[in-house]
Structure 1
């Protein structure tokens, strides 16, 4: 495919084709070994990872470039390539090994032990090719017995509200922002795992975050834990009462065991989202159990002994369900799980996952006074965070750039600019005639900006000079000096390609600096001087390219007496 009139997005100059030598990973020569290895690993991968890997090897692997002509990255330690860096997704997976080696001198026990080590990788689907084909091929190519991935777990994409996350446009909430929201980290863990895009794309929503927190965490899980332990502390002095379960209690235990099996199976299959739903279901069963049995009524002193014993049993079973919740919640909300365990006195039996529901807290075991676990997220906070993170703003769709239309408008602008300059230099055209042609020029520039997908800049007043006499009602000064009246359009000088290249690089660098300042929320006082430097560099670039800077900017500076 050939581009029609290709132009640089930043400076509109025509790209120059240059040759460059690079290193390639010889995947075709490793392909037989890769195909031989895949059947032992791929069946444990998620279905999307398998499909993506199959699409790469279906028609045979191609050599893949693993170096780049960049200034940042890991330098290539090879003669004639030392000015280059490795491509990040060739280099980064090797970092998994080097990081382990930095952590322990026993790193080979993990990385050269494929028969005993299960190796899990978690990623979004766009990184699957590098971990299913490229990195395993790199390891196979060494001829050594490396530990290779056994479980490749890939997700689909998480979107933001009704659009995509975009750090450059300030749309979405990111790690540093999440930390400053005041929302506990466990709530973030819970919601992101609740939304985990395991089989299809999902969307983050501030309103949904509020709803899930206030309903699933606060009203369901948090309410169950607090009520259950409050009954123990209020009616039994903080000691777990004796238990005499009925057939109905065993039915409740069976329902809980069903959810526990679902939980265990889900985590074993890397379905973390389903595992979290099982945790919430256990809390929901416990809530319903308390609601049906009403132990707070049964334990009252005026009730018969049989009722009070029944109330004690329900209270004890509910407390033990809380203990199970503390165990299964730990992978999702470790801090909250730790707080529940602390309230229960941290008995050792809560440190491992049981195969079935059992009596975790023996009769007489003493707990601490319960405290609220989950805070409510109010609407005012959610609305503020939504506005702050762009949740209420949908980025406008960019118009597709038509190179032919852009080139045509650029030619019209150049012709119109020459016409305006000649009229001004001739000195015979009236002010009204010049203004009309200038208006056409400004309109063309606006059309060009739109065609390039750039927001047009409103034109300012041009060359207006006002007198301070008579209360500021001065007249425009249109008198020209003799030199201006007889001047001719400047002749074009040869373009210095080296100087143009130097200035283009500086414009790009300064532009990146300005965008970074704006994205970080820097003050106008900090951004203003950098913008001035950028504009000056663009003027220098225009002059070096033989373009009138006035045509490039589309406006003159205002001057006042």
Structure 2
């Protein structure tokens, strides 16, 4: 701020005469908003219920899009009048056939989906549609608006000015791959109410959902095929139980498609993980490692289990693509799958035929250790920045080094895996050479960080795992409630068994953390000795 006393001045501006088009906009809105998110509907209706007023669309500013009229050279357009027009301009930059998207003929169906924070709803549901309607041209109008509530940070709010929270420019330096960020932020997306970003929860979701469930299933299936079937998809002879499993997969697929069509991105992730749990259940119940050494009939069954599991892995890679594109591509590289598999049908099908040669399998995810999480929590707690007398941000003496050793080691490992996968897949050197350059640069930064890192003081006994234990105890309690409710509802074992397996895995992690014996899978207490 200039810290001077405000002065009233006369200024000539342009306005949109919204009242003139209010009745037409209201008819369109009520016909169109039925599929919008609840908050988008209510915010838009509130604007109309209050009665639309003329809206100023120019400003006396130096920065912005200039008004292209003589005598108005000192004015620019208001950003939220101009910005939505940019959607059309961007399409025009992409293709000279932009009118097929924005002014399609009657034979062409185009659906416009828009995702935004709830603060920006009126500009997309009232202001921009009014401007398009006012042109009397046949522009398409938004069909679906999905607005989010607020994402909080731990127990408070994000604040860039105070250095509280992790932002996009910081996330790339944490050593956590971009796909993990995509997964977690969509997992906790505040679709119907405010939600919170939690470092402990991020680690928990990565370690339990991605590493132990999704990654474990795919890696086991592919490694078994590599070692025992010469890296080929074995012959499959599907039984009744396999078709029952496929029916459950199709039920999750239907839920996945419906969720995405309705903008319920969080639910889409949960359907993917449910399919991975079904795959794990197939492996655990069938035990192909035992069948492989059995009678000819048992060997035949073991081959079917692995062939079906490899195909489920390919199917999961397709469903993952909107959420975790890099991970999806890595899975398909390991499967040596054709790009033609990337079509989501309305039913599960075998994408990889018997005899298909897969690539080299490797783990998809790595465990996020609590030591790394504690460093990141400290780094982004707001204490890493302070203010100078002139208001500039400076790093405090206790701030963590942005490129700390743990983060860089994780980044080097992730980049190394990517390079190996690209080389193993037979990609052209022009594709993987840039990734090698990134890897070498990361290694240099790691060496420099190790050379300059001060010796860390030993933490107090047991203090490092306190937060992790609390998070796991909460997760065990919540998962226990899920299992109890499923059993009490009388649903088939095939539905509650995957949730029970997840509960047992969480209990095992908690026991390991506390140094206690692992809980019995049977879940029954032994009799006391007399």
Is 2:322 aligned against 1:331?
Answer: yes
Question: Equivalent of 2:13, from 3, 6, 22?
Answer: 22
**Quick check: 1:341–1:350 contact (8 Å CA) kept in 2?**
no
Give the drift of 1:392.
7.9
SS in 1 for 2:211: helix
Report the alpha carbon displacement of residue 114 of structure 1 after superposing the two structures with TM. 6.8
Distance 1:273 1:114, change over 3 A: farther
State yes or no: 1:109 paired with 2:93.
no
**CA deviation digits over 1:362-386, x for unaligned, max 9?**
2111112211111211112211122
Per-residue CA deviations over 1:428-484 (Å, capped at 9, x if unaligned) read xxxxxxxxxxxxxxxxxxxxxxxxxxx9x9xxxxxxxxxxxxxxxxxxxxxxxxxxx
Alignment of 1:511-522 (within 5 A): 514-515=390-391, 517-518=392-393
**1:492-511 CA-partner distances (Å, limit 9, x unpaired):** xxxxxxxxxxxxxxxxxxx9
**Which residue of 322, 329, 332 corresponds with 2:313?**
322
Shift of 1:354: 2.4
Tell me the TM-score normalized by structure 1. 0.67
Query: Are 1:185 and 2:195 matched, yes or no?
Result: no
Structure 2 residue 302 is matched with structure 1 residue 311? yes
Alignment pair present for 1:362 and 2:237:
no
The aligned residue for residue 53 of structure 2 is: 62
Bigger drift between 381-390 and 38-47 goes to 38-47
CA contact (8 A) 1:163 1:394 kept: no
1:121 to 114, 126, 129: 114
| Contact 1:386–1:392 (CA under 8 A) maintained in structure 2 | no
Identify the residue that residue 528 of structure 2 maps to in structure 1. none
Q: Residue 163 of structure 1 corresponds to which residue in structure 2?
A: 156
CA distance in 1, matches of 2:124, 2:324: 29
Helix, strand or coil for the counterpart of 1:199? coil
Query: Which of 162, 175, 183 does residue 168 from structure 2 map onto?
Result: 175
SS in structure 1 at match of 2:267: helix
**Cα shift at 1:118:** 0.9
Gaps of 5+ in 2: 398-530
In structure 1, C-alpha distance between the alignment counterparts of 2:258 and 2:6, rounded to whole Å: 56
Which of the numbers 92, 112, 137 marks the counterpart of 1:144?
Answer: 137
Contact 2:163 2:382 in 1 (8 A): no
Distance change >3 Å, CA 354–CA 254, structure 1 → 2: same
Of residues 340, 347, 357, the one that matches 2:338 is 347
User: Could you tell me which residue of structure 1 aligns to residue 67 of structure 2?
Assistant: 76
The secondary structure found in structure 2 opposite 1:254 is helix
The answer to whether the Cα contact below 8 Å between 1:161 and 1:391 also exists between their aligned partners in 2 is no
Distance verdict in 2 for CA 1:519–1:254, change over 3 Å: farther
Distance in 2 between the 1:119 and 1:45 partners? 12
Contact 2:385 2:393 in 1 (8 A): no
**SS of equivalent to 2:42:** helix
TM, length-normalised to structure 2: 0.71
Q: 1:93 to 1:54 in 2, by over 3 A?
A: same
Matches within 5 A, 1:483-494: none
Deviations 1:505-531 (A, max 9, x none): xxxxxx9xx54x416899xxxxxxxxx
* Aligned partners of 2:337 and 2:352 also within 8 Å: no
Asked if residue 46 in structure 1 is aligned to residue 37 in structure 2, the reply is yes
**1:226 and 2:219 aligned:** yes
Q: Is the contact between residue 163 and residue 383 of structure 2 (CA under 8 Å) also seen in structure 1?
A: no
Q: Would you say the 8 A contact 2:385–2:394 is kept in 1?
A: no
Query: What does 1:60-459 align with in structure 2 at a 5 Å threshold?
Result: 60-113=51-104, 115=106, 116-300=109-293, 303-347=294-338, 349-390=340-381
Question: What's the Cα RMSD here?
Answer: 2.4
Secondary structure at 1:159's aligned position in 2? strand
Change (3 A) 1:77 1:185: same
CA distance in 1, matches of 2:122, 2:394: 32
Partners of 1:119 and 1:150 within 8 A in 2: yes
Distance, in Å, in 1 between the alignment partners of 2:241 and 2:139 is 54
Offset of 1:144 from its aligned partner? Answer: 1.3
Q: Note the residue ranges of structure 1 that are not aligned, 5 or more in a row.
A: 1-8, 396-454, 458-510, 523-561
Q: Deviations over 1:4-63 (max 9, x none)?
A: xxxxx874x654333333221110011122123223422232221111110000132111
Superposed CA offset, 1:343-370 (max 9, x none): 1111355221122222222211111221
CA contact (8 A) 1:114 1:146 kept: no
Distance 2:246 2:96 in 1: 47
* Deviation readout 1:76-131 (Å, 9 max, x if unpaired): 23344332222111111111111222222211121112742111111111000000
- Match in the other structure for 1:533: none
